[in-house]
């Protein structure tokens, strides 16, 4: 997980250097919004070939939907998410999520989802995300904190979101005290704290003398006859469990 949210991931570095930006857009008839939405429509139609093209276009341009796009200079769209907010019900439905296939090793998908989570938390009271994921997308959504265990009451979302045949309904509940774009730094700090605590207690640098039983050659011995092993708390039962 640390690598996924790394502060040195290409997507993070490119945003920091101004090579890409994340734009929140909807169909407000502004020129740049229409250009970006058109780029998103073409991207989704290319990356999601199982979806009807007219259906993708209808939702992307629908004013009830909001999109977050990864945009390069000259408004070139390389990734994005389109979702529908249900603010009065406290959740948002992700309709489409895709990144250009030749850009998928840069961490764009993870960074995009972090932007979405932080934006939704900052701009509304919605604390849950729902989406239908096909077999190819389930792995990605699991890495972003989604689960098939739906805890949101069915009465909240039933009849509001479209039921996709062959897709698995997944949910992500947002954590109020987490800023997802800072998750990489937070994980690095936690890792450093854990390693410091381990180092303070560790005796891995201590080198013990060979057992006396081996003075005349290596022979089988009972591990628990060695004081240091016995003091470590090791036992055959624990060893079996660890295997």
Of 93, 182, 215, 240, the catalytic one is 93
Interatomic CA distance for residues 137 and 97, integer angstroms: 9
Specify which residues 131 forms β-bridges with.
94, 170
Three-state secondary structure along 136-175? HHHHHHHHCCCECCCCCCHHHHCCCCCCCCCCEEEEEECC
Left if phi > 0, otherwise alpha if psi is -120 to 50, otherwise beta: which for 166? left
User: How many C-beta neighbours within 10 Å does residue 184 have?
Assistant: 23
| Residue 93 bears catalytic tag | yes
Contact of 114 with 181, CB cutoff 8 Å: yes
Active site residues: 93
């Amino acid at each position: 997980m640390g690598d996924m949210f790394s502060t040195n991931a290409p997507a993070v570095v490119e945003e920091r250097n101004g090579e890409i930006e994340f734009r929140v857009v909807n169909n407000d008839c502004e020129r740049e919004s229409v250009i970006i939405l058109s780029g998103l429509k073409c991207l989704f139609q290319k990356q999601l070939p199982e979806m009807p093209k007219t259906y993708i276009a209808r939702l992307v341009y629908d004013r009830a939907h909001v999109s977050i796009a990864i945009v390069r200079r000259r408004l070139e769209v390389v990734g994005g998410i389109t979702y529908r907010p249900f603010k009065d019900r406290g959740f948002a439905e992700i309709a489409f999520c895709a990144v250009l296939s030749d850009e998928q090793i840069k961490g764009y998908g993870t960074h995009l989802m972090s932007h979405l989570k932080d934006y939704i938390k900052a701009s509304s009271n919605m604390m849950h995300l729902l989406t239908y994921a096909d077999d190819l997308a389930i792995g990605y959504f699991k890495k972003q904190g989604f689960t098939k265990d739906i805890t949101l009451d069915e009465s909240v979302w039933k009849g509001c979101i479209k039921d996709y045949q062959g897709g698995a309904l997944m949910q992500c509940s947002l954590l109020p005290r987490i800023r997802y774009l800072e998750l990489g730094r937070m994980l690095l700090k936690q890792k450093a704290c854990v390693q410091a605590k381990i180092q303070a207690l560790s005796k891995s640098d201590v080198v013990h003398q060979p057992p006396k039983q081996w003075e005349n050659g290596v022979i089988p011995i009972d591990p628990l006859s060695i004081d240091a092993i016995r003091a470590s708390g090791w036992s055959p039962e624990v060893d079996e469990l660890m295997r």
